[in-house]
Each structure stands twice: as C-alpha cells, then as structure tokens.
Structure 1
C-alpha cells in the first residue's frame, strides 16, 4: 500500500501540504482534485523522490515501478513507435542484453546458451515479443494514425509530443501510475479511449485532473486538497467513490454553513426567474429546459462549490435576428490548386438564436476547421457564408492565449476592449471600478488586476480571454476546447454561466460535463460531412468503438466520372427535397414582412397622443385588439419559419 505519514511538503518557504495522513491500498484508482497551486504536482514530485519532505514520510512497497508522464520531449529522430516502446525500460534492457550476448558470446558455449535461454524466457514472460503491437495500439488510441507512428519525434508539435510522453508512460508495466492533467492535450475520442485503458490498468493510479466526467469514469476514490485553511497549506482528505459521490459528501459537510444556503437560494431564484419568463415561449423552450435540468442538479451539487472564487454571467445579447449565420453548400479546407486539401464538403446549415450545439468527431475530422469557418477566420473554398443582421461573434481558441499582450495587465485588456465597444457599438464608457468588479468575477482581484499577463499561468490566461469574450455580449459564442488549463471550480462557473447564456452556442470540448449541461443537440463531424448525431455521449462512445473495430482500407475508390455523376444525382435529389420547404420559407418571409409592417404602424399610432383623443375613443379598442392579433400571427409565423429552417438544413 501507499502511505503518507504525517507528511508536510513545501516549496521554498511556502507550505503546500500540511500533516497529511493518507493510506491508499494497491489497485485503487484515485482522482486528485483541488485548486491550482494547492500542491498536487508537488505531491507527485515527492512520490518520485524529487522533493524531500519537511516532515513525515512516504511509504510504499520496495521494488514498486513508478510511471509518470514526462513534461519535456527530448529531440529525437526515433520514430513515434520506438519512442513509445522506450517506456518499457525492462524490455529495452533485455534487448540490449540479448544483443550484447549475441554479438559477444560467452566463450563457454554452455554458459552462452544458458544466458540466452534465460534472456529469451524473460522476454517471453514480460510479453516483449508483442510489445510493438501493444505500443501501436496505444498510439492508435491516442490519435496517431498508422503512418504517423513511423514519423520521427522531432516532426511532431508540442501537443502531439505530450501524447507521445503519455504513450510512453502507459507502455511502462508499472505498479504506480502518476498522471498529471492527462486530458489537456487530448480530444474527446482519445479521452474516452484512455478511460477504457485505465479501467483495465491493474496497478495503483493517481490522476490529477479537472475533468469531472473523466474522474467519474476512472476513479474509485477522491483525494481532495482543501485550501480553506489559507496559508497553512492544504489539508488532504480521502473520499470513497467517484467525483459525483465526492460532491454529495462535500455538500453534506458544507450544508451546515448558512452562507452556502444563501448563495444556493440566490442561484435557484435566478434560474427559476428565467424558467418562469421563457418556459412558455417556444423560441426559448430548449434553453428553459436546460435551466430546469440545472435546477434539478443544483440542490445536490451547488454547496460543494460555495467557496468558488468565480462569479460571473453573460449579459443579455443585443438584438435577436431570426437567423444568425447560414452556410450554403460550403467546402472547407486549405491550400490552392492541386495542393488543395478539402476537410469538409457540402456543408449546409443555419445557426439560429436558440441553437446550442456540441460538435463531436474524431481527431482531424474538421471540428476546429468548422469553428474557424463559423468565426469567419477561414474563408470557404466554395459555397457561401451568410451573416444575419446584428451578428456578434465571440470566439475562443487556444491560440488566442498567445495573442494577449504579455507586457500589459488584465485591467488594460478590458479597458481597451471597453473603448473598442464604445467606438464600434456606442456603448456607454465603463468606470474603472466597474471593470475591476467584472474582473473580480474571474478571480482577478486586488493586485492581480494590475499584474503583467506575462507572469500568468495558462489557466489565468484562459480565464482572461474568457472574461473578454463575456464582456463583448455576443449573440453567437464559439468555444474550441475552452476548459484546457481551467480548474474544476472555474469549469463549474463557466458551465453555470453558459446555462444562463441567452445567445447561440457552438462548443468543441473534451469535457463532457459542459457538453451535457449546456448543449441541446450534438452534431457529428465525420467523413467530410456535418450532420446531427442521433444519440447522447454514451452512444458516441459506442460509435467510436465501432469505428475502431472497422478494418483499415476497403474497396477501391470509384472513378472520377462515377464520382461526378453520383454528386450530380445527389444535388438533384437534395434540390427536389428542399424545393417545397424553401417555397414555404419564402412565403412566410413575405407574409412576415407585411404583418410586421402593419404591427409596427399600429405601434406608432398607439404610442401617439392622437390615439387617446376623444374622437378616436371608439376605434382604440379595435386597434388594440388588432395589434394583439397581428403579434400572435407574427409569433406563429416566426415559429414556423424556424421549424422550416431546421428541416431545411438537415435534408439529407
């Protein structure tokens, strides 16, 4: 077993872990959670012997093999497959010993034969002959296609190198596996594969992660770093069960605090107010339903987050056009001429004001390409991108963290954004204190508001970018992996804010909690197409397993002539299906233009003094009733228009 005995750890003069007494039995899978800077990575350093305790001890069985994910990838011309195999140290030692004995045999033939027999027997025992196949399977699960496995390590980007380091750690036949934020550089497909792999791992697992769904599926215990004591260092407490169970236990512990109830009641009142206002309005019904789900969960989970430093919400977007964005027969990709690479083809859909979409798809299928095109950051190779009137897009992607001014402060960034909004949209200029209060909701308080961004961690930079997006009041929010570097409390705050956000939302995320809580529909990006996914995230896991089970290759490709004929037939088929729907949409728009004109004219008359003059008294009631009837007809036609738009975009 692994034991922490009266353990005190510090970094320099800063205490991080205070008198921890924890026992973890062999084979347990422990999720480690707590705020950034609480000492989680410091504990890993101590377990690996890289940091000595100020007091106390760490006890574990002699001979335990410890595996961890290296943070650096040395430059190497070795292939990805060979690099992963390096994780099995004993395998490599046996290979060297066999090569040495073969090239320089013992002069005593009997001893030479005996030594080789021993080495080969050991190789058989550890499964060494099947090791390349195991390494290839690991790499495939982490997203490395077959041809990528033979590429040199030096050809991979930073994120892919971290996947190589993870593969190397998993390749090690360890007794104790230490994983520090393993999902940060993975997409949803690889995360789901890793969960399945860890479920079969026979050793003891300690994993630091802020992905609550990942912990729920992997962990059977939670080690919580409680920083509520302030500067004294984290108190460690071990809970039995997964993260959902931890939340319930933690909520029970905190429910005695009156402040927990007060904060919870404010949140419930806010959600109930939204539901009351919008539940009966069809255009907001889906969003109201998501708030109902949030309210159902709130009584169980909210108290576990009462000490969260994050409190923010999206302000109501300006304007609400019937259609925010439309893609018409779009072809998306990169390059020109013969070098052109098509990622997505025949992409047609509309983003409506109440759209809340989660994008699914395997790595490289085109999710980020689609989001870039939605944002207008990628021009289509063919087709048309049509923006609705008053469209205001806010776009979060990881590269935007690098676009922050490292020599400037959070206050400077928000102040510059506020000036831009005053100039472009005519907003009133915010007071300095208003900006400081807003930043406080993202835990930039006191001196942190004036510190240079260059010293910030990845999580702090991500929070600042999110703060800037929220400040813009968008009516279309595009999020491409927004939770990387964010801790659980910030993810929880973002989830609640997104549930209350009244604009349209498109999300790519490996954090399934956000997808489940904030998205009303899932779209699958696969085989160069975008289409609705009929099912939930558990169904998507099954779909992924089916895809992995399919044999590589397949029938030979059809001729280009056949392709063109099939494409023409498909276009004609779709045109025939869409024609009656489009005809009805056109008719609705003409009728809406006429009715809204009449309604607006009545509004002008009813707002005038003449409407209430004595001579107009007999007609005032009739005009008021007429105005109500017109409004009802407009609402009904708008609902039908949205239904037809949704039907049109998914004609297949």
Structure 2
C-alpha cells in the first residue's frame, strides 16, 4: 500500500500539492491525469526518492522494488538487447555470480546458481528481451545494434523496454506512448494489462487510459482526487459535478451543439460503414462526457478557406519515395472538400512519406498529380516545432503572417489556443513541447487552409487540448488526412481509413478493432520467417567466430540440462507423495462410520485435507508439465545442433 498523508510539495514559489491525501492498494493500475505543470512528474520523483516532501508523510512498503521509464539514455556502447537485459538486476546478479563460480570450478555452487537461474526464468530472459523489442516496433536486427546508433525517440523505446524487463513491485511510466506508433501502443496495452504489480501511469491518451486503468487520480488545485474506474468513468463523474454549475452547463450546451451539428453532417455522409457505426456510438458517449471539459481554456477552430477546388488534390498511379528507393507504388488518391481519411499501417511503412509527398516536401517519382487552383495546405509534423523561431513570441509569429492584423485580433485568436497575457508576448524558447505544438496548430488555423495534413499532432498535447482539437477537426469543412496514435481522435474525426503497408495504399474496410485484428494476424504470419532470419543459412559453413559462439551456446544449454532434470525428478517425487496421501484419504473417507454425527469434526478435517491435496496435485502437475516440456525442447535443440 502507498499512502500520502497531508503531503505538500513546493517548487520554489509554486505549490504543486498542499495537504494532499491519497491511498493506493497493491496491484492497482492507476492513471495520473491533470493539466501540464500541475506536478504529475514531481509526484513520480517523490516516489522514486528524487524529491522530498515539504510537509506531510509518504508511506511505502519496505523493500519495494520500483521500475521506471527514464526520459533520457546515458551514453553507452552496449547492444540494445544487453541494455534491456540490464533492467533485470536479479538476472545480472546471478549471471555474474555464475561466471565467478565457473572460473573457480565450484561445482556445487554452479549447480545452485543454475537452479536459481531457472527459478528466475533466466534461461528465457533473452527471449523475453527480443519479445519486448519486437512488441515495441524494433526490427530483429536491431537487437545487436549499439544503443548510441538509435535516434532519440527509439532510445526512449529502449528505456521503456528496459523498465518492462525489470522485476518490479511498482512500475512508474511517464507518457510511455509519446514515442510509440499505434501498433506498439496496442501491444503495450496487452502487456500492461497482465502486469502483476502496481502500475502508476501518466498519459494524455484517453483510449490507453480506458483500456488499462482501473483507477484515476486527478491532480488539480493542489490536491489528489481518486476515482474508481477508467478515464471515461472519471470523466463522467466529474462531468456530473461540473454540470451542477449554471455557467458550466451553458458552456457545455455550446459544445454539445457543435457535436450535434457534426453528427447531422456525418449521418448524411456515411451510414453503412462499420467505422461510421463505431463513430456514432462514440459521439453518443461524447454528448454525456462533454461537460467534463467545460472548464478548459481552449476553444479554437479550423476555419476553411472560402475558395475551394474540386478536387483539391489528386494523384494517379504515383510512385512515392526517392530515386534510389521507391517506398509506395501505384498510389491513387482523390481529395475533395469533406474527405476525412485516417492513415493506418505499421511503423516505417510509408505514412509520413505519403503526407510529405502531398505537401510537396518529397518529389513524386512517377505518375500523375493535379492540384486544384485554390488548394491551400495546412501541414503539421513534429519537425515543424524545431523550425519555430525560439527568439520570437507567439504574437510575432502571427504578425509575420499578417502584418496588417490588429493586436487585439491576434490576442483574441491566441487566447483561444491558451496563450493569454504575457504568454502571447514572451519568447517561445521557454515553451514546453505542448505549448510549441499548440502554437504550430494556431499558425495553421490562422491561415485558413482547405486541406489539413496532420502527422501525429497530439504528441505533447494534454487531454484538454486533445479534446479541443477533436472538436475543431469535427467542424472543419475542408479535407483532412490524419496520422495519429490517438485512437479517440481518429475515431471522432475521420470517416474512412486507408492502409499503408507492403508498399501500397489501399482502402481499409473496417474500424480500429479490425485493424488490431489485422496486426495480430500479420504478426503471426511473419513470425516463422522472422525466426528463420535469425538462424544461419544451412548452405554455408560457419566461420570461426560463429563456431565459437555456437559452442558457447551449446555448453550453456548442456549446463541447463542438469538443474532441469533435477527439477523434473523433484516434482515427480512430490506428485507421488501427494498421490499416496490422496489414496489414504480416499480409504479413510470410505469408512461408513465416519459419517456419523459424532465424527462430524473428523470428517470436516479429512475433506479439507482432501481438497488441499487435490489443489496441490493440480499445481504440481502443471509445474511438472512445464518443466518436462522445457527439458524435452532443450534436449531436442541440443540433438539437432550436434547432429
């Protein structure tokens, strides 16, 4: 159990928590939500011992093991797989002790350590590491690459894999989905749902919170408020509280009117597709939860250019990519006002390539391309944040676009994006990633495009800004192409999906649940070939280094045989002992006099003993089958390797 009692955290003059109370029980999965800057990351630092409370008490179980996802990767020459395995400190400790014992030829100690390695699932450690890498989107060959060879985003993924590899009672994850694509997020959801310890997670991805969390802690007004249920449940409860206020109610009705307007337009556009039905259900739910955001400072919109072309942009049988590498072939696309397309596909399949080609940043390699006379593109991508002038203010960025606009007009517009007072006049170099992303969206909205091309626009945005962005895109009258790992945003802003995979762009007839199934089927289909890729070719002989490595692996496998055989024998003896006891109990229970009223207590004890022995028998048999299967697989592997 984790307990905060009358706890206060101050950062300089800023109060993050003041006399806050919170109790979290073991095994809970808890989402930490709240606006940027309220102190969510500081709460994690408190739990990690990196920050001390200014007042109050923090109670945590003694000996608790904590794993967390670091936001930076220290310089290291280790390979990706070794870096991840380092997260399992018990594994590394046993391996180090085993190396010493083998060097000193301590036979009994070696046997003990192999048994300990077996109990720590150490023989499967490398396999688990490769599974984590695959689940988070790494290629099989990436396992042998040095950590320093990866870009910043992929290093963060390595940190996440390392945290998942750790043996922990408490797992702290701060925005784990920021650097993941949709495929990896879906995989991570499944992994976390089966995590046996206590999970605390900071996230602005509402679908992720809905699918994993059982409790929500809302950080607001220097307090911690615990809600039972997932994010939607929290939002609904909070909405009920807020809707009691008249002013909040009126603002809620304005939001609901916006949604209803979109629903009317959407019903007229698509009523048969499975995605349409999914969207309508989601919009019905949004009508109930919208009041939870009535206190949001964001209320922006994307006005569409008054001049439109039909179509705005089209390409026919186009090859996309580079002269020396075609990524997508024979792409045909026709974008008219009102088109709303979400791009799905594995990481690296070409979604960003398609968007950049539509923008004109990458030249089309072949095929036809036609642009409407009045085409006006609004393009968002993460690299645009780096292109902002860090010495200029948000106001100056807009003034450069429209020198004749009045200061009040610009202030009103920036205020809808949350830049109020001095925030609109300060140099943006001090802005957070979320504030820079808001400014980039504001610059796009100011120019009134008729085609929006958005590549992961929600990275760094908190839940309130994401909600405002969803409403703004729903009301946008131009064409939209969206790449996002935020499923809630996709579900509520696009009418159709296109699948970018295997060098092609095709219509995806289904919703996001169908896409999840498609990913699972694809992974299963690719698994055998991936395994073959990791094996040396049968048609060539091994070189000296490979032969040495093969001998080392075979020696390790032979060393594993002995403790496995001992474990199997031990479990067999245990099964025999339990079976003998069960036979004794059956014999005793067959005595008719046992069922007389005078023997009631004795009968109760015998029946309880029988139930317990039966339970133990089932558990031991399962363990025996697992160990026997592992032993047989190892013996078969050794036989094949040595033949």
**Residue 542 of structure 1 corresponds to which residue in structure 2?**
517
- RMSD across aligned C-alpha pairs, in angstroms? 2.3
Native 8 Å contact 1:279 1:285 kept in 2? no
Q: Is the 8 A contact 2:279 2:491 kept in 1?
A: no
Residue 504 of structure 1 pairs with residue 479 of structure 2: yes
Give the aligned partner of residue 66 of structure 1: 66
Deviations 1:466-505 (A, max 9, x none): 0001111111001100000000000000001111111110
* 413 and 117 in structure 1: CA distance in 2 versus 1, 3 angstrom threshold: same
Matched, 1:196 2:180: no
Distance 1:520 1:89 in 2: 48
In the alignment, the residues of structure 2 paired with residue 351 and residue 476 of structure 1 have an alpha-carbon distance, to the nearest angstrom, of: 8
CA contact (8 A) 1:216 1:242 kept: yes
Going from structure 1 to structure 2, the CA distance change for 1:97 and 1:289 (only over 3 Å counts) comes to closer
Task: Name 2:248's counterpart in structure 1.
Answer: 260
**TM-aligned CA distance change 1:527 to 1:101, over 3 Å:** same
Q: How far apart are 1:299 and its partner, in Å?
A: 3.3
Q: How does 1:195-234 map to 2 (within 5 A)?
A: 195-227=189-221, 234=222
Cα deviation, 1:13-47, whole Å, max 9, x if unaligned, reads 32111222211111110011000111100010010
Q: 1:431 aligns with which of 406, 426, 435?
A: 406
Deviations 1:54-107 (A, max 9, x none): 1122212211110001122122221111111111111111111111222245xx
SS in 2 for 1:553: helix
Q: How do 1:295-374 residues align onto structure 2 when only pairs under 5 Å count?
A: 296-334=284-322, 336=323, 340-374=324-358
Partner of 1:487: 462
Residue 514 of structure 1 deviates from its aligned partner by 0.4
In the alignment, is the contact (CA less than 8 A) between 1:375 and 1:395 conserved in 2?
Answer: yes
Q: Which moved more, 1:323-332 or 1:404-413?
A: 323-332
User: Gaps (5+ residues) in structure 2?
Assistant: 533-643
Q: Does 1:440 align with 2:424?
A: no
- For residues 102 and 505 of structure 1, do their structure 2 counterparts lie closer, same or farther at Cα, with a shift above 3 Å needed? same
The 5-angstrom pairing of residues 459-608 of structure 1 reads 459-550=434-525, 551-553=527-529
Secondary structure (helix, strand or coil) at the match of 2:457 reads coil
Query: Matched residue of 1:56: which SS?
Result: strand
Q: Which one of the candidate residues 141, 153, 163 is aligned to 2:147?
A: 153
Report if aligned partners of 1:30, 1:205 keep a CA contact under 8 Å in 2: yes
Q: State the alpha-carbon separation in 2 of the partners of residues 46 and 520 from structure 1.
A: 44
Instruction: Specify the alignment match of 2:158 in structure 1.
Output: 164
> Post-superposition shift, 1:176?
0.3
Partner of 1:610: none
Deviation (angstroms), 1:308: 0.5
What SS does the aligned partner of 1:485 have? coil
Aligned match of 2:365: 381
Name the CA shift for 1:242/1:454 in 2 (closer, same or farther; >3 Å): same
1:11 alignment partner in structure 2: 11
Taking the aligned partners of 2:201 and 2:531, their CA distance within structure 1 comes to: 43
The aligned residue for residue 84 of structure 1 is 84
Q: Residue 541 of structure 1 aligns to a residue in which SS?
A: helix
Kept in 2: contact 1:275–1:288 (CA 8 A):
no
Q: Are 1:409 and 2:393 matched, yes or no?
A: yes
Alignment partner of 1:398 is 2:382 = yes
Distance 2:505 2:484 in 1: 17
- Is the 8 Å Cα contact of residues 8 and 18 (structure 1) preserved in structure 2? yes
Match of 1:34 in 2: 34
- What's 1:243 paired with? 231
Between the two proteins, the alignment pairs up a number of residues equal to 530
Q: 1 CA distance for matches of 2:291 and 2:342? A: 28
Write the distance in 1 (CA, Å) between the matches of 2:478 and 2:499.
22
1:22 counterpart residue number: 22
- Going from structure 1 to structure 2, the CA distance change for 1:272 and 1:212 (only over 3 Å counts) comes to closer
Distance, in Å, in 1 between the alignment partners of 2:271 and 2:95 is 65
- Displacement after TM superposition at 1:312 (Å): 0.9
Residue 114 of structure 1, CA deviation: 3.4
What is the TM-score with the length of structure 2 in the denominator? 0.79
Distance 1:376 1:285, change over 3 A: farther
What are the Cα deviations for residues 338-371 of structure 1, in whole angstroms up to 9, with x where unaligned?
xx12211111121121110110001011111111
Distance 2:228 2:236 in 1: 11
Give, in whole Å, the separation in 2 of the partners of 1:554 and 1:206.
34
